Structure 1
Amino acid sequence: MTPTLPTRQPCPPGACNCGRDALQEAPLADCRILLLTRQEEQRLLERLENIQSLADLEHMQRRLFEQLGLRLHIAPGFNEVRTMRGIEIRIDELPGLCRKTRQSIPAAIRRGLELHPEIAYRLLDAHDLLRDA
């Protein structure tokens, strides 16, 4: 007898367009994202808010992909970066990922970058801050 892992509770009808039901019905679908329960999501958001370095952020990106199949892209925006809003944080489309979670992950990362602006500076340096000079 194998224990089943807890999965995320479904969103209220009409409140989200995550495609959870279609994901569960697909025979060969990657359902790892459904393992992100609300409690685990809170732990993840807290961890993202408390990042300590650029290496830590990159490690979190790798772990999100390995454990949940979630691709997270963080890079300076196309225009000038004057605030943390100028840093583009994008999550690839993934069936089963709740709309609120899709919004809360970038917000948590921005809060972490605001607490540790040196991480944002390292991110800008890593993407060649002076590329057009």
Structure 2
Amino acid sequence: MFAVAPLPNIPFPVRRPCPQGICICGHRALLESGTGDIRILRLTLMEEKRLIDRLEAVCDFDDLQKMLHLMNEQLGIRLEITPGYTEVRSVRGLRITFQEQLGLCRKTQKKIPAAIRRCLSDKPKILYRLLDSFDLFRGL
């Protein structure tokens, strides 16, 4: 295990940095620079597990929107879920993209969309409502 030196200027527990050369998240650079959005460092492994469990337990479209808003507000994670370029026949047809962010681990960038896809495949009503929100004729 890696030992992390205590950080006197950060008042919350911080995620352990990824081993060098394995991840390109920039965790160490974010800690060393002292500038930038450090909210993402709150996402420890335990908190990440709670977030994944919560995303899988989303009950409706409004709850999904609330979770996306909270992720942006509390962690600075900007996530966009849109229909793919071609037609959407399944959950895999959705594009789930992150805005580039220093400190966001590549494993986390794979786990969050996978949890959302699992939720949407288990609850297709949320998927249909998501697709309806991109309706071509909604303004008419």
The bucket for the TM-score relative to the shorter chain is over 0.9
TM-fit CA distance, 1:112: 0.3
TM-fit CA distance, 1:2: 9.0
Partner of 1:61: 68
Q: Tell me the TM-score normalized by structure 1.
A: 0.92
TM-fit CA distance, 1:29: 1.4
Match of 1:64, SS state, is helix
Partner of 1:42: 49
Q: Which amino acid aligns with 1:70?
A: I
TM-fit CA distance, 1:130: 6.4
Q: Return the alpha-carbon distance in structure 2 between the equivalents of residues 125 and 58 of structure 1.
A: 14
89, 93, 108: which one aligns with 2:96: 89
Q: Which amino acid aligns with 1:100?
A: K
Q: Which amino acid aligns with 2:74?
A: Q
Aligned length: 131
List alignment gaps of at least 5 residues for structure 1.
none
TM-fit CA distance, 1:22: 1.1
Partner of 2:121: 114
Q: Tell me the TM-score normalized by structure 2.
A: 0.88
Q: Which runs of 4+ in 1 moved over 4 A?
A: none
Partner of 1:33: 40
Q: 1:2 to 1:20 in 2, by over 3 A?
A: closer
After superposition, the CA RMSD in angstroms is 1.8
TM-fit CA distance, 1:3: 8.3
Partner of 1:17: 24
Q: 1:100 to 1:3 in 2, by over 3 A?
A: closer
Per-residue CA deviations over 1:31-75 (Å, capped at 9, x if unaligned) read 110110000000000010111111000000100010011101011
